[in-house]
Structure 1
């Protein structure tokens, strides 16, 4: 199972591919971040934290927590709708663990 950071990285790369002609520099300029930082996010040498993920979602007009869902898998598992005020790392971890446990059932 992918980590949340792997999922966010894959989704960022998909956004860059689809919406920015597969050009990190174009994304970086419009998002007002350094090209080096965007490259590090894209390659996975720097993780995309929760606050940056929310900024990217707002900038690209994606719904909140869109970056946290594995859209590239064959059957993406969508999280339950959680009031953003009630979201926490613990709730995200519990949800992810539950999904993983369901996926390994025989």
Structure 2
């Protein structure tokens, strides 16, 4: 493996490189949108942990979060933004390039 390939790994976006956030972004890339409950059940993360990771992804501009009510319950819908899609694509390219 060349030194240049290894050095490219240093350019990985650290926001989505964290395993839980990468899992969330990968899930959202596969669907148009997902509610909090779906992400909670699918990832196996605690609600608090999922909430923190979603906030970090939202702050970075990678995820859009929309909150509303369904009856008496809060409904949280999450979507991957165009920026999030670009970052995930770049992440995949860097990882594949290092192999």
Q: Same fold, TM exceeding 0.5?
A: no
Structure with greater Cα Rg:
2
TM-score (norm 1): 0.34
Greater share of helix residues, 1 or 2?
2
Indicate the structure whose relative CO is greater, using CA pairs within 8 Å and at least 6 residues apart.
2
**Greater fraction strand:** 2
Per the normalisation by structure 2, the TM-score is 0.36
